[in-house]
Structure 1
Amino acid sequence: MLFFGKKIEPIGLDIGSTYIKLVQLKGSDRHYQLVKYGMVPLPPEVIVEGAVMDSGRVVEAIKELLAKHKVKTKEAVISVSGSAVIIKRIAVTDMTDEELAESIKWEAEQYIPFSIDDVNIDFQKLGPGAMEGQADVLLVAVKKEKINDYVNIAKEAGLEPVVVDVDAFALENMYETNYDMGAGTVALLNIGASVMNINILKDGLSAFTRDITVGGNRYTDALQKDFGMTSEDAERVKRGEIVEGSDQEQIAGVVASVTEDIVAEVQRSFEFFRSTTGSDKVDQVLVSGGCTRVGNFTQVLSERLGMSVEIANPFQNIKVDAKKFGAALLETGAMAAVAVGLAVRRQGDR
């Protein structure tokens, strides 16, 4: 399966740990129109930190989503993230793409903490390296077991997965589709239920990527532990709803504490980016995912980072029928960043 391969005309299917999101677009080259959009919840513990615990329930949910939105297209782009994904920017001797394709496996061995036989590898040349005769290459390795799990789920749901992408790169595609890819440094954060994807772009190229196993489930776990809430009530609290019989002041304290923990992870990642790349400035922060729906999360993130933080709009530059999709996008649009990034994959674009 390709990570950087050709773009086709599929549905984008983001299989998360609490929701499965679906986006279908028509058009190409930054001129897209929304055709299908929807999401369906998954029961707790069906997918844990990206690992599939109950594939049957996931297949059922995908079938339900496809039927509800009358999706006819069988081709799908899916994605993976988490600890089974390794992304590194490396320097190699400058060579042709064909030569690099032959040698990348041996280049990769020194950077990958898994057996080279257990992973699928892809790469993308970014340009000349810092030293003469070198090239900068973005190396991607994903455990075959992880890819097979997600591919098999899609197939069992009646789909044909034509590309397996990586969440961090789907974010980049979403950004490129909806925003101006100019000079400067932009941090893309997608904070889902169990995994946070970070992709920091410098002058339009990916300079730093990281997946961290932290996300909105931290709120759910804390609320269940401290107040004995059901997962459904915990989700309502995260959306700002009041649960009858609960102490709002105590709940607010727990939510604020978890927010600080997640924000601290972002701060550490930014510090790591600065120390490993020599960059000292992030010009823009765009955040997506379910955590954007939690209280004052983006405000706290902005205060701790000392810069403005904007909630991403994955449909900003996409033609949308407001009567058909308006209400759904207003409520959940920021959760669809990865799905949009998958849905823009088109044939012939590497």
Structure 2
Amino acid sequence: MKLQFPFSLPVKKLKLGDSAIGLDIGFHSIKMAEIIVRDEGIEIVNFGLKEIKGSPKKGQSRADFMGGLIKQLFAERKVHGKKVYISVSGHNVVIRRAVLPKMPEEELRDAIKWEAKKEVLFSLDDADVDYHISGEVTKDGADFYELLTVMARADIVPFMMEMIQKAGLKPQGVTVVPMALWDYDRAINTINPDEVTSYIDMGAERTRVYFVADDQLLFSREIPSGSKNITSALIGEYETENGNGAVVDEQRAEDIKKSYGLPPEDSKEKTEEGILLSDLRKRILPIVTKQVEEFYRSIEYFKNKYKRNKVHRLIVSGGGVGLRGLYQFLTENLDMNIERCNALFEASTENLELTKEEAKLMGPGLTAAAGLAIGRCAKINIMPDKYRETWQKTLVKLAPLALLPFVIAGLFFLGGYLRADLKAAEKTLEEKKQLLENLQLQFGKVQGPIRKLQSLGKEERDLRREKENLPGGALASADFGFVFDELEKIVGNNTSLSRFTYTDSRFGREDNEEEVVGRRESRLLIDIKGHIFGDDLSVQTTLQYLLEDLKKSPAFQDVKLLKSEPFKIGRYTSSGIEFELLLVPVTQADGNA
């Protein structure tokens, strides 16, 4: 089958005749799209979807199990290519924007980790990191990079690599889903950089929302709900008109969801069991209503945070979008222009070996896979160097099969290459030695001013003590009634506060010790400890919103997350985290300022 996209070649990295395979591995299914570049544009020459059913057998690893499913998919679809581009997602993969001083690119990864370590909840020491420089700005006479950064926990990408290799394939790159969706959109649409585009990717277990403007990925959010929630809602017992009743298990619920979707409000039809479609709607409606509320909340949060008047385009994709009746429900309740991604409808369907309904269900789920093949991880690729193919590795592989003259020529070329590298390194070392000598000379010149500055610092602290002992120098008080009201409004149902401590930060601190949250006239501190209960994703989402709401509250000047760590095993019957926050309240003095 051949599906031809009606657009010109938009991706510089692609060349005529090139082919590529995108592999989107989700929680519920594996999607594959193979493209080839023609004169007229990009052609989908193969695609496939395989649901993930069952679990690893005894003694079989998860990587072996998943690798076997991928191998089956490629065999069933008769895919001959081995090189694939994949994506990673989840709460252990973080997408952030950052602004950092201009520096050598070899130093940027360490700088990105350092800048992000206070906000990322997993260790960044061995995390896989990549970045895309989206722009440059100048502030106070200094030059800065505007960066899109991606960080994955140290075990995420190696597991994906093992899975792909178990399938007998060769990974070429690893990126994140929003980059794939963005690449797909740019391939088939002309995007005005001044407009805001939101991509909503509705998967089986999670829904992800992304916002793009000014040729930058500005904001992303993950919602812990997907099409699987609809399947779960449909499972159970039903009353039928004949009085016999009906019981729907998980497999039948999945079939009903695919066949009937979200039925119309006035539907009088029944399923083959005699279940009224109106009863199905009653079960599905709370799920999709909650989804729409989360979409609206994400849109409003983005508009407020980034000072945007509107979101011009809302593009929905993913397996959940194929649900019958969902597009109409979204359009009616979000009151904005919504576009659906469907690679099978946006291409020619002349030779399509699927019915229109099958294509409607499968097509949206292929968007990320097609985007991976088109974009080829050009902007973001967090695949570690040890997995990447290089000419040196290729030479080593071919050496046993090559004739001796070719081996000698290759070694001679490699030797020349290394000698050039050595000379360049020696030159760099000499330059750095000279720079060090200059810095040492300058260091002696600045010692006098430093000592003077230290003396002035001591004088300042002495003056502060004298001021505090003067009438009217006492520490201003906070409105604790207002503070407690704000905490009551902000703290969620799955969150409990176990300790509330109010202190004067002036006492118990050495003169040379740094302020925890910076110097302030108030210097009142509130230390809060608490617990958040739930699974990993809901806990992280709750903690994120708690911090955001506290920072927006008029009761606090500043908020600092001091600690967040999982419950110790056996301490509670439910999973969750313990956290500690340091708050600087607004004082009466601040209110009168």
Partner residue, 1:268: 297
User: Which one-letter code corresponds to 2:340 in the other structure?
Assistant: I
The answer for unaligned runs of 5 or more in structure 1 is 1-5, 47-52
Q: Distance in 1 between matches of 2:272 and 2:220?
A: 38
Deviation by residue 1:184-215 (Cα, 9 ceiling, x = unmatched): 01111110101212221113321112232221
Q: Distance in 2 between matches of 1:296 and 1:45?
A: 32
Give the percent of matched residue pairs that are identical in Structure 1 and Structure 2: 27
- Choose the corresponding residue for 1:205, options 204, 216, 225: 216
What residue is the counterpart of 1:88 in the other structure? 96
8 Å contact kept, 2:211–2:219: yes
> 2:145 matched to which residue of 1?
135
Decide whether the 8 Å contact of 1:37 with 1:325 is kept in 2: no
Report how many aligned residue pairs link the two structures: 338
Displacement, 1:82?
1.4
The equivalent position to 1:111 in structure 2, one of 112, 115, 119, is 119
Q: Secondary structure at the match of 1:67?
A: helix
Match of 1:231 among 241, 244, 250: 250
**Contact 2:342-2:360 within 8 A present in 1 as well:** no
- The whole-number CA distance in structure 2 between the counterparts of 1:208 and 1:284 is 15
SS, match of residue 323 in structure 1: coil
Counterpart residue identity of residue 24, structure 1: E
Offset, 1:294: 1.9
1:252 is aligned, of 269, 275, 281, to: 281
8 Å CA contact 1:189, 1:285 repeated in 2:
yes
Shift of 1:273: 1.3
- Letter of the 2:209 counterpart: I
Q: Distance in 2 between the 1:30 and 1:210 partners? A: 36
Matched with 1:191 is 202
* Matched letter for residue 189 of structure 2: Y
Taking the aligned partners of 1:33 and 1:271, their CA distance within structure 2 comes to: 38
Q: 1:196 and 1:249, CA in 2 relative to 1: closer, same or farther beyond 3 A?
A: same
Relative distance call for 1:270 and 1:44 in structure 2 (3 A) is: farther
Tell me the residue number matched to 1:26: 36
Contact 1:314-1:337 within 8 A present in 2 as well: yes
Shift of 1:317: 6.5
Contact 1:195–1:214 at 8 Å: present in 2 too? yes
Q: Which of the residues 359, 362, 375 maps onto 1:332?
A: 362
Q: Which residue identity does 2:374 align to in structure 1?
A: V
Q: Provide the secondary structure at the position in 1 that maps to 2:308.
A: coil
TM-score, length-scaled by structure 1: 0.86
Deviations 1:273-311 (A, max 9, x none): 123222231001110112222232222222332212121
User: Which sits farther off after the overlay, 139-148 or 6-15?
Assistant: 6-15
Q: Partner of 1:11 in structure 2?
A: 21
Question: Quick one: which of 67, 76, 83 aligns to 1:68?
Answer: 76
In structure 2, give the amino acid aligned to 1:112.
V
Query: Would the alpha carbon gap of residues 54 and 265 (structure 1) be closer, same or farther in structure 2, given more than 3 Å must change?
Result: farther
- C-alpha distance after superposition, 1:66-118 (max 9, x if no partner): 00111111111111111111111111123453442453332332332211124
**Counterpart of 1:297 in structure 2: which amino acid?**
L
Q: Counterparts of 1:346 and 1:83 in 2: how far apart (Å)? A: 23
| Aligned-partner residue type, residue 291 of structure 2 | I
Task: Find the aligned partners of 1:226 and 1:191 in 2 and give their Cα distance.
Answer: 27
Pairwise CA distance, 1:315: 5.6
Q: Between Structure 1 and Structure 2, whose CA radius of gyration is higher?
A: 2
The 10-residue stretch of structure 1 (237-246 or 142-151) with the greater mean CA deviation from structure 2: 237-246
What one-letter code is carried by the residue in structure 1 that aligns with 2:256?
A: V
| Partner Cα separation in structure 2 for residue 285 and residue 297 of structure 1 | 14
Contact map agreement 2:184 2:370 (CA 8 A) in 1: yes
Gap change, CA 1:157 and 1:321, over 3 Å in 2: same
State the Cα distance separating 1:28 from its structure 2 match: 7.6
1:130-182 deviation per Cα after TM superposition (whole angstroms, max 9, x unaligned): 84533321111111222222221111111111211111211111111111121
Relative to structure 1, the CA distance from residue 130 to residue 271 in structure 2 (aligned partners, 3 Å threshold; closer, same or farther) is farther
- Contact 1:194/1:213 (<8 A) preserved: yes
Return the match for 1:217 from 206, 223, 228.
Answer: 228
1:118–1:143 CA contact under 8 A, matched in 2: yes
SS of alignment partner, residue 82 of structure 1: coil
* SS state at 1:239 partner: helix
**Which stretch has the larger CA shift, 232-241 or 323-332?**
323-332
The one-letter amino acid of 1:271's match is: E
Equivalent position amino acid for 1:344 in 2: I
In 2, Cα distance between the equivalents of 1:30 and 1:137?
34
How much has 1:223 moved relative to structure 2? 1.3
Contact 1:287–1:311 (CA under 8 A) maintained in structure 2: yes
**TM-score, normalisation: structure 2:** 0.53
Name the structure 1 match of 2:350: 322
Gaps of 5+ in 2: 1-12, 239-246, 261-270, 381-593
Distance 1:270 1:131 in 2: 29
Q: Which AA in structure 2 matches 1:232?
A: Q
- RMSD value, Cα: 2.8
Structure 2 CA distance for partners of 1:347 and 1:20, relative to 1, 3 Å: closer
**CA 302–247 in structure 1, closer or farther in 2 if over 3 Å, else same:** same
How far residue 245 of structure 1 moved from its aligned partner, in angstroms, is: 3.5
